[in-house]
């Protein structure tokens, strides 16, 4: 599956997704309630140690921050101008720690494992009418629909090109919308006719 | 929930993901203008309140489990806890509101449809995004409000497209 997973054998890779999400939740909440600059600094160092524990090179950690580097700079300057260097450092450090920890969870967990964990944990919601199997069906269908949608768009665009209409957004979008809705209806009829209990 | 509901939920989650393939316009602040909020508007206006809202929750779940489905190939938990995540996290609510308001006016003309989509897709989404951004980066609401204005022209274009599509589809497919 196309995901952001990086293979490895560390304890972090072997832990099931549940505890990792719990760690992220606790760390994230704590970071927002402690208003001292040492907290994000400590969290940042701890996260970098965890990257080492997970067997990921420090270069990998830097890669996670590269897309938001300009955003950090913008924040830092804005915050310095508004409320001084102390808060500027605090906000940017907190952001970096949180993003790195969140990325660590994503990097060390397979999407398929997370889907399993989600469908398993949804069992507790069965009494209030949530059916985990249906959630699983919706996830698989959504992943399958993504390439189908881009195929339909390509086909319609080619057909409209023959009419000289490929630049009109609506002339492409409307047939795509009608065809996909019709396809969705056909698929649900097909699932029902094969005896899927809903 | 019928099979048709499940298929529609999956379809609109996938549509929002597919719109992420449209190349984003960079703004220079590390955040881009993307076509994806069009998926949110259409989920609400075409799939309805409950299915649209659930479709967006499914989309967020797919992001959370680490699939790079946000425009520019972003994904994973990091994409949901950043300073600009308020917009994305508001998507289920936006789709739900658009669907709920449209369901009450089956006879709405294209202008009213546009107004409802603009309310859910711009007013509510941006309000969420601005407040989240201001709290997250500890800057005053006013500054966040001004920063937010770079997204408004693009979102107005998306509202026009969504309103025209919804209006056309309501006629082509009366029992949507």
Mapping DSSP onto H, E and C, the string for chain B reads CCHHHHHHHHHHHHHHHHHCCCCCEECCCCCEECCHHHHHHHHHHHHCHHHHHHHHHHHHHHHHCCCCCECCCECCHHHCCCCCHHHHHCHHHHHHHHHHHHHHCCCCCHHHHHHHHHHHHHHHHHHHHHHHHHHHCCCCHHHHHHHHHHHHHHHHHHHHHHHHHHHHHHHHCCCC
Strand partners of residue B169: none
Instruction: Collect all residues of chain A within an 8 Å Cβ-Cβ radius of residue B81.
Output: 28, 98-99, 102
- How confident is the model at residue A89, as a pLDDT? 87
Strand partners of residue B32: B26
Q: Are B13 and B62 spatial neighbours (Cβ–Cβ below 8 Å)? A: yes
Choose the mutation target among A21, A106, A195 for the interface with B, i.e. most B CBs under 10 Å.
A106
- How confident is the model at residue A159, as a pLDDT? 94
Q: Which fold has domain B3-172?
A: Arp2/3 complex 21 kDa subunit ARPC3 (1.10.1760)
Q: Are A165 and A192 spatial neighbours (Cβ–Cβ below 8 Å)? A: no
- How confident is the model at residue B135, as a pLDDT? 87
Choose the mutation target among A37, A89, A91, A142 for the interface with B, i.e. most B CBs under 10 Å.
A142
B66/A103 touch (CB, cutoff 8 Å), yes or no:
no
Report the residue from B4, B29, B58 with minimal CB separation from A138. Answer: B58
Choose the mutation target among B5, B6, B133, B172 for the interface with A, i.e. most A CBs under 10 Å.
B6
Which sign, positive or negative, has the C-alpha torsion A160, A165, A167, A170? negative
- How confident is the model at residue A110, as a pLDDT? 87
- How confident is the model at residue B99, as a pLDDT? 96
Q: Nearest 5 degrees, angle CA B107-CA B125-CA B155?
A: 75
In angstroms, what separates the C-alpha of A166 from chain B's closest C-alpha? Answer: 15
Hey, is the C-beta of B27 within 8 angstroms of any chain A C-beta? no
Distance from CA of residue B134 to its chain's centroid?
20
- How confident is the model at residue A86, as a pLDDT? 85
Instruction: Collect all residues of chain B within an 8 Å Cβ-Cβ radius of residue A174.
Output: 165, 168-169, 172
Instruction: Collect all residues of chain B within an 8 Å Cβ-Cβ radius of residue A142.
Output: 9-11, 13-14, 17, 58-59, 62
Hey, is the C-beta of B74 within 8 angstroms of any chain A C-beta? yes
Least Cα distance to B155 among B128, B123, B131 occurs for B123
Residues (pLDDT < 70) of chain B are 26-32
- Please tell me the distance from the alpha carbon of residue B61 to that of residue A114, in angstroms, as a whole number: 10
- How confident is the model at residue A46, as a pLDDT? 92
- Please tell me the distance from the alpha carbon of residue B74 to that of residue B80, in angstroms, as a whole number: 10
- How confident is the model at residue B29, as a pLDDT? 58
pLDDT tens series, chain A, 198 aa: 566 788 888 888 988 888 888 888 888 888 878 878 888 899 999 999 999 999 888 888 888 888 778 778 887 888 888 888 888 888 888 888 888 998 898 889 888 888 888 888 888 888 887 888 888 889 989 988 988 998 999 999 999 999 998 788 889 899 999 999 999 999 999 999 988 775
- Kindly report the number of other CB atoms within 10 A of residue A36's CB atom: 9
- Residues whose CB falls within 8 Å of the CB of residue A102, separated by 6 or more in sequence, listed in order: A24, A28, B76, B77, B78, B80, B81
Residue A180 DSSP SS3: helix
- How confident is the model at residue A117, as a pLDDT? 85
Domain boundaries defined on chain A: 11-121, 131-193
- Please tell me the distance from the alpha carbon of residue A138 to that of residue A198, in angstroms, as a whole number: 12
Instruction: Collect all residues of chain A within an 8 Å Cβ-Cβ radius of residue B136.
Output: 95
Could you tell me the two tokens for B12?
A: 């609109």
- How confident is the model at residue A12, as a pLDDT? 85
ipTM rounded to 2 decimals:
0.87
The gap between the terminal CA atoms of chain A, to the nearest Å, is 27
Strand partners of residue B26: B32
Q: Are B37 and B156 spatial neighbours (Cβ–Cβ below 8 Å)? A: no
B62/A71 touch (CB, cutoff 8 Å), yes or no:
no
- Please tell me the distance from the alpha carbon of residue B37 to that of residue B33, in angstroms, as a whole number: 9
A102/B65 touch (CB, cutoff 8 Å), yes or no:
no
- Please tell me the distance from the alpha carbon of residue A195 to that of residue A172, in angstroms, as a whole number: 35
DSSP A23-75: HHHHHHHHHHH--STHHHHHHHHHHHHHHHHTT--HHHHHHHHGGGHHHHHHH
The gap between the terminal CA atoms of chain B, to the nearest Å, is 16
């Amino acid at each position: 599956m196309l995901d952001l997973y990086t293979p490895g054998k560390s304890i972090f890779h072997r832990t099931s997704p549940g505890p990792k999400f719990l760690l992220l939740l606790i760390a994230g909440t704590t970071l927002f309630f402690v208003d001292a600059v040492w907290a994000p600094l400590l969290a940042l160092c701890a996260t970098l140690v965890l990257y080492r524990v997970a067997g990921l090179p420090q270069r990998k950690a830097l890669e996670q921050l590269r897309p938001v580097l300009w955003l950090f700079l913008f924040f830092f300057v804005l915050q310095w101008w508004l409320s001084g260097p102390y808060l500027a450092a605090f906000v940017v450090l907190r952001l970096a720690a949180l993003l790195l920890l969140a990325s660590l969870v994503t990097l060390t967990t397979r999407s398929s494992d997370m889907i399993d964990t989600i469908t398993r944990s949804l069992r507790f919601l069965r009494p209030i009418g949530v059916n985990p199997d249906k959630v699983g069906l919706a996830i698989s269908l959504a992943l399958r629909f993504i390439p189908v949608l881009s195929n339909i768009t390509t086909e319609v665009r080619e057909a409209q090109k023959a009419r000289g209409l490929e630049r009109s957004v609506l002339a492409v979008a409307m047939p795509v919308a009608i065809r996909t809705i019709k396809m969705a209806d056909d698929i649900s009829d097909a699932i029902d006719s094969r005896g899927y209990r809903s | 929930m019928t099979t048709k509901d499940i298929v529609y939920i999956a379809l609109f989650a996938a549509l929002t993901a597919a719109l992420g393939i449209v190349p984003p316009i960079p703004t220079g602040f590390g955040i881009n203008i993307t076509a994806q909020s069009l998926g949110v508007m259409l989920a609400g206006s075409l799939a309805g309140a409950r299915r649209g809202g659930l479709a967006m929750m499914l989309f967020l779940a797919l992001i959370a489990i680490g699939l790079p489905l946000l425009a520019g190939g972003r994904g994973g938990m990091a994409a949901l806890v950043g300073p600009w995540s308020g917009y994305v996290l508001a998507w289920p609510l936006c789709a739900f509101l658009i669907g709920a308001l449209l369901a009450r006016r089956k006879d709405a003309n294209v202008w009213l449809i546009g107004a409802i989509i603009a309310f859910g897709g711009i007013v509510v989404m941006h309000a969420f995004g601005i407040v989240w951004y201001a709290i997250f980066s500890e800057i005053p609401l006013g500054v966040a409000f001004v920063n937010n204005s770079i997204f408004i022209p693009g979102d107005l274009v998306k509202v026009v497209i969504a309103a025209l599509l919804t209006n056309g589809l309501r006629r082509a497919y009366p029992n949507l």
